[in-house]
Structure 1
């Protein structure tokens, strides 16, 4: 996530609309108005005085106490009417942000949750990320401007003029932010890359090739950029680039990473707190209506960790099979597909990688939602649920 843009891309692929975030958001909007099929998840602390009581998408009933994970609540329940995030004062560090699936419009449906459990409605089209330390919030406005906000104070920075799918990445130590602004109205399309020093607010333009299909998928504490290939790239693997000159300083082919060609997919990369392990979900996703979707889970998927210092694969965990969603006839004569039961890489916790579990409702297979946040045990790869999520949360953003 924490790769939020890529989570949207992965979820959109499951809904037959894969390649960029703005298309993914359109899928979410269209599904919300028709079959309410939203790629979802969310987050919230259970605090006294909540006006709404959430019901888990997977069903109700009492649950046994969950094992604790530092900084994560055992229950995520949305507040009914949170106040608007104030502009004239700090509110404290962020813990999570979530999107409500019952909002009629795109504006004002994101909610920020601070470390003390307070909740604030965020004005903007979407939350585009939070720094790993929770101090900085990045929001996309409806005019395409990205606004960077210091949650500990009132400082702010704006990045204007880009496509809504423009991406951003944080360094693990929260000192640097890379913002890539895509311009697609002109031919050929181009990308401007900014490297921001969050301690001083200084902003520098990185002279990467503006027409290259590769994208920045991580930034190291040193300012070195990690470039991941897009579907249009001729190179399959990772590249490291100097954050000042933009020059590529090392190539890491996918074969060197221990991946088979079918696994060389870099949809949701997240750089871990150690500043050298890059986590990626690999393997084919189930596409609704495909042969794989008819099988019991399709191709095996893995969560892998690459050491970008040595170029070697160091961690590999099998992910649970995706269960294809329900199908029904659409009004246009085609077939409408529900959200599959699947896991997505959410972020990296101090205790291990976090997965977001999204599943259809038991009462309505064409209404999907967040079921839980699961922690991957680094020693065994076993999953344990650390947070249960409730309706009407539809997307979660985790720091980093």
Structure 2
């Protein structure tokens, strides 16, 4: 073992080790692509009981995958013209949201689909009750999907948050940083308070404690959710990670697992990409997973130059109770220079097995997973 794999083995002898990818692909020099999908940064996913259609991308038009993860359907298909999400009455609870030809669409737990009026869906609470939508005027709307309650947050003109949103695993709290840090008490109908903080928030626990990330892989801080007072510093050495290790763009924000104690952190070294789980209560690494490598892109001559297509890649989109979820993006079989989202895959937390749990049909691109 070399690089981070060796370091983690030395620092966390008790951590479970899973190899979830067959690295039979030859090592090639990565080239800059002419076109790439924007790395998925928000948190992304899939849902229930929708019509099946043939998938346009390679290797995923066979039988439906086995239902191995609760709440995830075999297939996700976009509706051509879904109605607008009603504002005069509740619609139920959301299972996910996706981006397609109709813009952003929220899918309810009963399978109904509604078009969302806004720039994008920025988040769904873990219980599916609350929806956060960014608008083109640089503000956000927090909506109770089971009723009509809503509130707005101001922000920058481009609708970009400083950090967040982050939901507590029990769905009772939301942290949103838009110049100031808001802590929203969802259990109290959405009452909110500001927290004096200079650091970026990367998670909020059920207790209201905030997990702060001053800089990628520079360590963590635990802070009081009311006063912002730092309660504990966790240096990078305690995480078992070197500050010099690079952070993949799609793994730049740590994710708190549904157990409210395991913080998943992504990193990369010369041997590949990894996802490690740090137990905030025990103060040690509890698990780690090598992530599948990208398959190199196709290339062709073009007017005396070379055009590079899309690689076959996977991005972390969330943490399911059964394990981390990956979004699989792959080139079309008929045109390797066109890529699309084809599936959601689960890394089983107990065995480390990588399994397809949901097949995704075009034109769906991004998927927002609750939490």
| TM-score normalised by L of structure 2 | 0.81
Give 1:389's match in structure 2, choosing from 345, 357, 360: 360
The answer to whether residue 195 in structure 2 is matched with residue 192 in structure 1 is: no
Give the equivalent residue in structure 2 for 1:253: 235
The structure-2 alpha-carbon separation of the partners of 1:36 and 1:148, relative to structure 1 and needing over 3 Å to count, comes to: same
Shift of 1:260: 3.5
Give the equivalent residue in structure 2 for 1:290: none
Shift of 1:305: 0.5
Give 1:208's match in structure 2, choosing from 180, 197, 201: 197
Q: Which moved more, 1:149-158 or 1:66-75?
A: 66-75
Give 2:261's match in structure 1, choosing from 252, 276, 295: 276
The structure-2 alpha-carbon separation of the partners of 1:83 and 1:257, relative to structure 1 and needing over 3 Å to count, comes to: same
Give 1:324's match in structure 2, choosing from 293, 296, 308: 296
RMSD value over aligned CA atoms?
2.7
- Residues 190-240 of structure 1: per-residue CA shift (max 9 Å, x gap): x3101010122221110112xxxx411100111111111336xxx811111
Shift of 1:268: 3.1
- Residues 299-318 of structure 1: per-residue CA shift (max 9 Å, x gap): 31111111112321111011
Give the equivalent residue in structure 2 for 1:169: 166
The answer to whether residue 50 in structure 2 is matched with residue 47 in structure 1 is: yes
Q: Which moved more, 1:125-134 or 1:375-384?
A: 375-384
Work out the CA distance in 2 between the residues paired with 1:158 and 1:379.
Answer: 41
Work out the CA distance in 2 between the residues paired with 1:253 and 1:67.
Answer: 40
| Aligned residue-pair number | 332
The answer to whether residue 146 in structure 2 is matched with residue 152 in structure 1 is: yes
Give 1:380's match in structure 2, choosing from 348, 351, 354: 351
8 Å contact 1:38–1:368 — kept in the other structure? no
8 Å contact 1:36–1:366 — kept in the other structure? no
Structure 1: which 5+ runs fail to align? 1-13, 18-30, 182-190, 285-297
Shift of 1:147: 0.5
Q: Which moved more, 1:388-397 or 1:154-163?
A: 154-163
Work out the CA distance in 1 between the residues paired with 2:31 and 2:82.
Answer: 31
| TM-score normalised by L of structure 1 | 0.76
8 Å contact 1:304–1:317 — kept in the other structure? yes
Structure 2: which 5+ runs fail to align? 1-29
